[in-house]
Amino acid sequence: MATMAASAAARTTAFKSVVLLTGISQEFLAMLVDLVWTRNPAQATLVIMSIHQTIKREREARGWSMEDLAAKVSAMEGLQKPLSWQAVQQWEKEDAGTAPKRKRLEVVAALFDMSVANLLGGYGGSPVAVLTAEEAVPKGYLNIKESIVRFTGGDGYIVPEYELIEKSTPATYRESWFREQRINPAQCKRFKVDGSSMENTLFQDDTVLVNMAETNIIEGRVYAIRYGEQLKIKRLYKRLDGGLILHSDNPLHHPQDEELSAEVVAEHIAVIGRVRDKSGPGGL
């Protein structure tokens, strides 16, 4: 990961550096890459992550081996001769490594649920900007504060009640990211992660952005759910009988896969929404 101090000419300097590192033309880079800036009163820092680092991070976040990613790419491309795991190894190799080309770049981006621009941009589609307390929200951005949820009700009918934490520090998101992901920000809430069951994807006190409009389960994606009267964040898989498998990314969590029958799901589980972004110092 490269960092450089910002100045009046920082954007031009940064682009030239990335062009030298990647071989991408400056014009093409300018079109594809949204720059991520973190600001403090003293200086701004431009953070750039290579495509090699991004592929490795996204693969490991999903618990996939190199063989797994190679097999998924092969399946999506309909290859008669499967892609080797060594090809993925080359994609993740910082020194003298290669990167997916053209159509394959689109396939890899689709598997990671991000745009090609974000894959090349190297920040995993992160839409968050960090501002000082004195800075106004810039045009094209919006704030989303953290919420807590309580589950109330009776007679077998439990409903969530959401409360905004007014004193929480809001995350500032790019409006263009919501448009790109086809997400209505009005239907999103941020929650704090509690527990270690989703490490090394999510850590204690990280925050997640949940799109509450996405309640239809996509295999292997991460969701916020109501489990009884508790909020849980799990990777979900469907069972053939209508039940669910609640997967914890942390291999030390017991059980790592909790299998629930259709009857238990109907009585105790409700999908609140899909996790679409994460932030926090977890794992550092």
Give percent above pLDDT 90 in the chain. 36
Q: Assign 39 to helix, strand or coil.
A: strand
Instruction: Compute the C-alpha angle 246/250/254, nearest 5°.
Output: 65
Rounded Cα–Cα distance for residues 137 and 131 (Å)? 8
- The pLDDT of 177-182, averaged and rounded, is 85
pLDDT at 153: 66
Rounded Cα–Cα distance for residues 116 and 275 (Å)? 20
CATH 1.10.260 domain locations along the chain? 52-114
Rounded Cα–Cα distance for residues 47 and 270 (Å)? 38
pLDDT digits (tens, 9 = 90+) for 185-206: 999 999 999 999 999 889 988 9
CATH class as words, domain 52-114: mainly alpha
pLDDT at 71: 93
Range list of β-strands (E), 6-73: 36-39, 44-48
CATH 2.10.109.10 domain locations along the chain? 143-168+185-279
CA 129 to chain centre: 15
pLDDT at 50: 73
pLDDT digits (tens, 9 = 90+) for 241-278: 999 999 999 999 888 999 999 999 998 999 999 999 98
pLDDT at 156: 57
pLDDT at 231: 92
Query: Could you tell me which residue, 39 or 16, shows the higher pLDDT?
Result: 16
Query: Could you tell me which residue, 118 or 248, shows the higher pLDDT?
Result: 248
Range list of β-strands (E), 85-221: 128-129, 141-144, 147-154, 157-164, 171-174, 188-192, 207-211
Instruction: With a cut of 60, say whether residue 5 has pLDDT above it.
Output: no
Give percent above pLDDT 70 in the chain. 72
Side chain identity at residue 151, one-letter code: F
pLDDT at 22: 44
pLDDT-derived band at 172, boundaries 50, 70, 90: confident
Q: Which long-range contacts (C-beta less than 8 Å, at least 24 apart) are formed by 136-140?
A: 137/172, 140/174, 140/175, 140/176
pLDDT at 264: 94
Give me the residues paired with residue 153 across strands: 158
Rounded Cα–Cα distance for residues 71 and 84 (Å)? 8
pLDDT digits (tens, 9 = 90+) for 36-75: 333 333 333 334 467 888 888 888 888 899 999 999 999 9
Alpha carbon distances (Å) from 114 to 53, 65, 67:
15, 19, 21
pLDDT digits (tens, 9 = 90+) for 127-159: 555 555 555 677 778 889 899 998 876 555 677
Q: With respect to CATH, is domain 143-168+185-279 assigned 2.10.109.10?
A: yes
pLDDT-derived band at 92, boundaries 50, 70, 90: confident
pLDDT at 51: 80
Q: Which of 279, 270, 273, 272 has its CA nearest to residue 145?
A: 279
pLDDT at 246: 96
> What DSSP element (H or E) covers 270?
strand 269-279
Q: Mean pLDDT, the chain, as a whole number?
A: 77
Alpha carbon distances (Å) from 217 to 157, 158, 265, 267:
22, 20, 13, 17
